[in-house]
Amino acid sequence: MNLSTLRLAFAGTALVASMAASAADGTITFTGDITATTCIVGPGTGAEGAAKAIEIKLPELATSALGTDGATNGDTDFSLKLDGGADCVGQSGKLGKMAFSGANINPTTGRLTNTGTAANVEVELVSAGTPLHLANDKIDFAVNATGDNEFPMTARYRASGGAAGQGDVSTTVEYTLSYN
């Protein structure tokens, strides 16, 4: 047997031995649930509309109320409410998250861009006294025993990029609920 063949045989044996020595240290198992529906969110206090089609009406303001970049005004308190239906009660005790998405979220400010005609206006959502960055923030909650959690929030105008211009304000945002 020549020296090259002997070296190759030795290298192959060393490779097999090293593979056996690097056996798995453990296993990770992934589990989850896929449900037909989740809790339905509807309008609570200060909100209008129906389940999954909630409307918040902000007040009419003079442009002077938003006369400088960063000014806020028109605070409108409202709440979103879980419906307490059987699908929601079935989530009782689980930890939930409400996340926001959609084309109207300004990724830099986290506020909702105006699709109406008023220039330099965004809509800001506030939860527990803190403005939400809708591109990043989620609302955490534990589903209560009756499945009718209520999420108090505030919506308001915010001048963005200068003083607000005259016109209408309109925007939308989607939400998604998930549970752990």
Domain residues of the chain, as ranges?
35-179
State yes or no: pLDDT of 6 exceeds 50: no
Asked if residue 36 has pLDDT above 70, the reply is no
What is residue 27's predicted lDDT score, i.e. its pLDDT? 55
Average pLDDT over residues 24-48: 69
Q: By mean pLDDT, which of 33-42, 109-118, 151-160 is the weakest?
A: 33-42
With left for phi above 0 and alpha for psi between -120 and 50, is residue 89 left, alpha or beta? alpha
Alpha-carbon distance of 142 to 179, in angstroms, equals 9
Q: Give the pLDDT of residue 10.
A: 47
- Render pLDDT for 72-125 as a digit per residue (tens, 0 to 9): 999 999 888 888 777 777 777 888 888 999 999 999 999 999 999 999 999 999
- State pLDDT tens for residues 52-71: 788 889 999 999 999 999 99
* % the chain with pLDDT above 70: 80
Fold of 35-179: Immunoglobulin-like (2.60.40)
Q: Which residues contact 111 (CB under 8 A, 6 or more apart)?
A: 105, 122, 123, 124, 125, 131, 134, 158, 160
Identity at 22, one-letter amino acid code: S
**Contact yes or no for 152/79 (Cβ under 8 A):** yes
Identify which of 65, 80, 100 has the alpha carbon closest to the alpha carbon of residue 172: 100
